[in-house]
Amino acid sequence: MEDRKLIYALERAKILEDLISSELEKRSIACHKGCPYCCYGVTLWITQAEALLISHYLNSLPLKKRKKLYKRLKDYVKAYREEARNFGLREERPVPKEKLDMETLGKVSALGLKDVPCPFLNTETLSCEIYPARPDMCRFTVYSDDKVCKQDWEDPLRFLWRDKILPFIEEIKERLSPKLNLQLMMLRSRYGDLDFYSLEETVAFITYRIKFDPVKKIFRC
Ligand code: SF4
């Protein structure tokens, strides 16, 4: 069953990647390797499908790298917990996506964790260490003007994320939604035995979903 879940997660990610890439080919997008603004101050809440993909990818990396990323994940969690407490956010366990307190999470990201890099950001090359397995939210986070992204990171209280970047992302999501829903429905019909509510409809903080096995030195979820 675990293997089937992973294969489902891999197929699902491919559908997302293909659809988003074909949509982005038609647009002028400023995102490029070395532009890290959306990789600072992220709060990584993910589904089980995303966790399967990420841990599978992490386990394909050399041991030295896995250990390094595990250490970064621990530092990031420490920073997150501290800031989440400051903002009154305690919940880390799975919650239905629609019940996630996006407003508080946004504040934790923009104000609390502003200078904290995502644990998967390589801060020397400014590239994503898990790019092929990055979370859904990263796949969708694109914008047409990197100067705006920089300004948003420098001063979150200008609300450029809310007023400019987010509507851009929402428009892309809306455009893709009919095709995406259809393709996901067809995919799900081939995996009828899986519990899609657990796989896709609930999110939890990344370290609730992904753990490191210190004996086998692999990530588990
Ligand atoms: S997972 Fe990768 S793309 Fe997403 S925020 Fe982290 S470094 Fe950036």
Q: Name residue 208's amino acid.
A: Y
pLDDT at 91: 82
pLDDT digits (tens, 9 = 90+) for 58-110: 999 999 999 999 999 999 999 999 999 999 988 889 999 999 998 999 999 99
**Burial group, residue 115, by CB count within 10 angstroms (0-12, 13-18, 19+):** exposed
pLDDT digits (tens, 9 = 90+) for 16-55: 999 999 999 999 999 998 999 999 999 999 999 999 999 9
In residues, how long is the chain? Answer: 221
Q: How far is the CA of 24 from the centre of ligand 1 (A)?
A: 18
Which numbered atom of ligand 1 lies nearest the CA of 36?
Answer: 8
Please work out whether the CB of residue 120 comes within 6 Å of at least one atom of ligand 1: yes
Q: Where are the domains of the chain?
A: 2-220
* DSSP class per residue in 111-158: IISTTPBPTTEETTTTEETTGGG--HHHHH---S-HHHHHHHHH-GGG
pLDDT digits (tens, 9 = 90+) for 169-215: 999 999 999 999 999 999 999 999 999 999 999 999 999 999 999 89
Please work out whether the CB of residue 73 comes within 6 Å of at least one atom of ligand 1: no
What distance in Å separates the CA atoms of residue 209 and residue 49, rounded to the nearest whole number? 10
Which numbered atom of ligand 1 lies nearest the CA of 118?
Answer: 6
Calculate the alpha carbon distances from 169 to 31, 120, 144 in Å.
13, 22, 10
Q: Name residue 101's amino acid.
A: D
| Residue 118, token pair as written in the block | 């995502």
pLDDT digits (tens, 9 = 90+) for 151-164: 999 999 999 999 99
SS3 of 30-93: the string is CCCCCCCHHHECCCCEECHHHHHHHHHHHHCCCHHHHHHHHHHHHHHHHHHHHHHHHCCCCCCC
**Residue 1 pLDDT more than 70?**
no
| Residue 25, token pair as written in the block | 């080919």
What distance in Å separates the CA atoms of residue 143 and residue 150, rounded to the nearest whole number? 11
Q: From atom 8 of ligand 1, which residue's Cα is the shortest distance away? A: 39
Please work out whether the CB of residue 39 comes within 6 Å of at least one atom of ligand 1: yes
CA torsion angle for 170, 111, 131, 48 (degrees, to 10)? -80
pLDDT at 2: 74
